[in-house]
Structures are given as structure tokens and as C-alpha cells.
Amino acid sequence: MIEQSTSRNAMRLLLGGLAACLLAACGGDMSDLTQYIAEVKARPATPIEPIPPVKTYQPYPYDGFSGRDPFRSSSSEGREVAQGDEATPESLGPRPDFSRDKEYLENFELDTLSMVGTFANSDGFWGLIRDPDGRVHRVVPGEYLGKNHGQITLIDDGQVVLSELINDGTGGWLQREAALALEG
């Protein structure tokens, strides 16, 4: 027990002596450092660039009152052809039926819906579609889903195929095929 305390005391003395030597080595002649500081203080101060003048606000006159309302859809949705207007090729093509009631799955973009399965009976296939909220819905051909007036044309064991109507921006509608594949 006495030997342990003696060795501890010796170790403390050794560490204390080492610390004192290190501190003594830090001191020394610092005349070159004080000379450099005096030189830096003696230099003339460089002028600071002046703050640039504040530009006054020039209001921009809005002359868009004569153009298209930016808050309205550019589609021809809801636009009726007046009597006496000539039928254009665009108006003769496929058009969505705006008078029908929208189905629940038409509230979602097609890429947010996913096909999770099918089941079949004697009448054909039924598809199972999951919405973004996680609810699963049963669909059959002829029903609509997606925001682009997509009508289901075919359901098989691996996909739901639908035909969408896309506004072409000139008053007409383009028909395109889309599909939801079964998740793997």
C-alpha cells in the first residue's frame, strides 16, 4: 500500500516537472513579434469602398388586362360551341363528357395510383387499385380513373389498360393509351 502511494507521488512529481519544462520552453525573446505588430499598426489604413447608392423602385406597368386570365385553365373545358360556329377538325375528334359525374379515382393523378391485384369470375377480370391514401378499390372496364379522363378499356392478370384524353392546347383533344402494371 505504501509502495503504491510512493509510486503515485513519484509519477506526479515527474509529470509536474515535465509540465514546468514545457512551459519554460514557451517563453523567450519576442522582440521580432512586437516589431512586426508595430509595423502593421504604422501602415496607413486602406479606404473602404463606399456603399453603392440605393436604386429607387420603378414600378412596372401591368398591361395584361387585355390577355388571357392567368388564373383560368387554358383548356376548352366547359366551353360550348355557339350556334353558327363552324366545326373545326379538333371539335370533331374525341372529347371528354363533362356532364357525367366524376368517379372517386378521377381525383388522383395516374402516377399516384397503383395496381395491387386482380380477380376473375365468369364475367371477366376485376382490377384492384390502391389510391395514395392506401385504400384499395375494385375497378372494371368502362370505369374512369386519373385526372386525364382515363377510361379503363382492358383488365388482365398483369395490367389495367386505359384510354386517356389529353387537351392539345388548341381546343382539341388527343387520345393516348396508358396502363397501370401490377406491382411486383
Q: Give the residue-averaged pLDDT of 120-147.
A: 91
Q: Which domain holds residue 145?
A: 102-181
* Residue 151, in any domain of the structure: yes
138 belongs to a structural domain: yes
Residue 174 lies inside a defined structural domain of this protein: yes
3-state secondary structure of 104: helix
Q: What is the pLDDT of residue 138?
A: 93
Q: Are 116 and 157 spatial neighbours (Cβ–Cβ below 8 Å)?
A: no
Residue 24 lies in a domain: no
Bridge-based pairing of strands 173-181 and 159-167 is: antiparallel
Which position has the higher pLDDT, 178 or 2?
Answer: 178
Residue 2 lies in a domain: no
pLDDT digits (tens, 9 = 90+) for 158-177: 899 999 998 887 888 889 99
Residue 122 belongs to a domain: yes
Average pLDDT, rounded, for the chain = 82
Q: What is the CATH number of the domain that holds 113?
A: 2.30.30.830
In a domain, 153, yes or no: yes
71 within some domain: no
Average pLDDT for residues 145-153, to the nearest whole number? 92
| Predicted local confidence at residue 92, as pLDDT | 64
pTM: 0.50
Paired residues of 175 in beta bridges? 165
CB distance 180 to 114 below 8 Å: yes
Q: d(Cα 160, Cα 143) in Å, to the nearest integer?
A: 11
Sign of the four-CA dihedral 78, 111, 141, 133: negative
Q: Report which of residues 179 and 76 the model is more confident about.
A: 179
Task: Specify the number of domains making up the chain.
Answer: 1
Residue 184 has pLDDT above 60, yes or no: yes
pLDDT at 78: 45
